Structure 1
Amino acid sequence: MAIHDRHVAVVGGGIGGLAAALLLAASGARITLIERVPEPGEAGAGLLLQPNGLAVLDALSLAESLERQGHRLTGAVVRTATGRPIVNATLPHFGPGQDHALAVRRGTLYASLLHAVRADPAIDTRFGCQVSTARTDGTVEYRDRDDLTRTIEAELVVGADGTQSIVRAGGDFGAVARDTGTTYVRGIVDGDDLGLEGEYWTPLGLFGGAPIGGGTYFYAAAHAPAVAEALARRDLATFRRHWADALPPSAAVLDRVPGFDALLVNAVTRIDCARWADGRLVLLGDAAHAMAPTLGQGANSAIVDAAVLSIELAAGGPGALRRYEDRRRPRVRKVQDAADRLARLSAITSPAGRAVRDRGLHLLDRLRPLTAHQARIAQQEDPRLLRDALVRPLERT
């Protein structure tokens, strides 16, 4: 399939969907973007843009503005509850400007993508529209703002509609959804001088974050029984107390949470698909591969999906969707598995188990070639090559 002048429906206006709309439009496609939320505004706290995601955003001319509004990180430190380093990982240097990660407000990234989408004449946005059916022949049915049923025919339908994907339900993707039993809390508080940068592994699980655009982004495990019970009761004071007992530095952050509703609580579902394309339907992001957040690769992987999909479609040929799947699915599966392993390691509660874990990881951390190799696997694509592959067609538009 050659993408030039084809009609593509993108279902889902999150980060992955917006990136896909922009990149496919830049390759010459006519885009209909359908999103159920009437007034888009990405919910969420913060996220970590890694070199792979930043490379794509740089090709879209969005990275420079985001850099001014975020906080650079050149590595990640994991510490015990007492502050002793367990792992001190440095990001590999992929080229100029691709030697760091960027902690940003999720809303800042979303607003940048949305502004670019609205400015692109090749993208027809239909917000406040709920897709009810997507078929393998490219038919999409949805309810518009007036609650009327509408139908469009597209030559490709991109499912960027999350873990409960309607597009995925319309095809045969061999999807398996698994509740991981893990829950995380996220939020942003005022102040960027609270001493939180990196991650702590404690008897309650992980707690981490970073300064972020005038505030501090934090995230915390919430599946320990005492913490889970406090959250079920919407008891912020008890939630704070449990974390302050396990990790005293967390108090400076959690004391600034204004109320329970400022917390975002997310249970983690893992999605695995045997296939990412069926007929004229294709998946990206959480619709194809929802994962644990422990590697910080969820949003980045969706952005890279959009990039590789656009590259393979622009290359043309009957096997474009198969090339996209073959290129992406094995690499993302490795990241999903690694994120699960980290989630399990960070959730060890027994003192003896934590001691063995910490000693083992500290020894592995000394094997720099091994840790650098693992960091490159997490990026899934070489960021420099990915950016270059995108910039060439973008410069022609």
Structure 2
Amino acid sequence: MKNKTHLKPVVYEQEKIEFDLDQLRKVFSCIGTFATVDVQKCFVSKMKFHFPFKRTNVTNFLVEAKNSCGQGVPNVADRITVEIHYHGKPHLTESATIKDTGYGQYEVSYTPRVCGVHTLSVLVAGKPIPGSPFKMIAQLRDYTKMETQNCHLITQYGGKKFQTPHDVAITTNDDIVIVDSSTRDVVMLSKNLKLIKTFGHGNGDGKLKEPEGVAVGHNVIAVSEWSDHVVKKFTLQGDYLSKFGSHGSGDGQFRYPQGLTFNNKGLLYEVDSGNCRVQVFDDSNKFTFKFGSKGSDSGQFQGPRCIAVDSSYQVYVTDWTASGGIVVFSEDGHFIKKISCYKPYIICLTPDDHIITRVNSCLTVFDPDYQLIAQFGTKGHKQGQFEITTGVTVNSAGTIFISEGGNARLQIITD
């Protein structure tokens, strides 16, 4: 009889498992809510708040849809809405494409139609997510990379030399308009820098004596006359239209008018430097209102010089004093803010709402949030240097044009 092998029973020790009750409660609380979006837990990622504007460039970012436990919620693309608004252009509408990339992430993409400041409202289930609306800036160019080798100089037109080019403006076709206070010419150059025509020189009612500032509106060119204390208007073809103003301090009168600009509604804003104020006129030259006065309080000036308007109709006035800076007003002349900078003179607002001015012989750029982002150039006579800059403007491609009275030239900074 064979011996039977006796197997010993194996006894396993019981493993003690401890549970975190708070974690368990959290896990069980998520059961049944996985597909429910909690708007307050949603957010955007990979969003570029500043990006270069090209008409074919697509910008994109992610919307992260989360439930109350912070987990991604899939299959809710149809519940995400993105609304795009362009500052100062309420007639423009834009649509965005929303793509479900999985794990509760949704890629939003769109192509900006215009450069400048616009806002994106991101809604989930009809409610804005935290941080919405988001401010975006489609930039025409990288203002931090203005280089000397990208500068070009124009010293004459039609065989005639500039003497004291005092201001410069751009038409809607990107033609360039310069006034020279010494030659008394209004000079029009094409976007290719070819002479189109000159006008204004001579004697008579439709001629210029000492042109100071120039602005281009809808089919009209306005020129301020420093010593005659008037503003004269011409067609884009150079034909004389009208003049208004006289010497004095009453409504519609001037003491040494300087910078002027049109807004997109056709209102003309004129810096009445001798009276330390801005006067506003409609398209029939009728005085509508004024703002500013001499002083150092908010909304007052010591030495106002030049003026510009942004896409939201805000008005910017340079106060050419050590304590002046750039004074910002609403469309109807209510004080908003003063941007501190030393003795700014020239000013323009770019199509992407950046501010360009001159500080200490440097071309100086502020972003739409009034933050200093770039300075370029020094005092001198070479390319990329400046001497008594008297006017500045930017065309639709981001090319910058600076009139220099001290160097008797037009300097052009390309991208």
What TM-score do the two structures reach when normalised by structure 2? 0.23
Larger radius of gyration: 2
Between Structure 1 and Structure 2, the one with more strand by share is 2
Q: Which has the higher contact order (CA 8 A, sep 6+)?
A: 1
Between Structure 1 and Structure 2, the one with more helix by share is 1
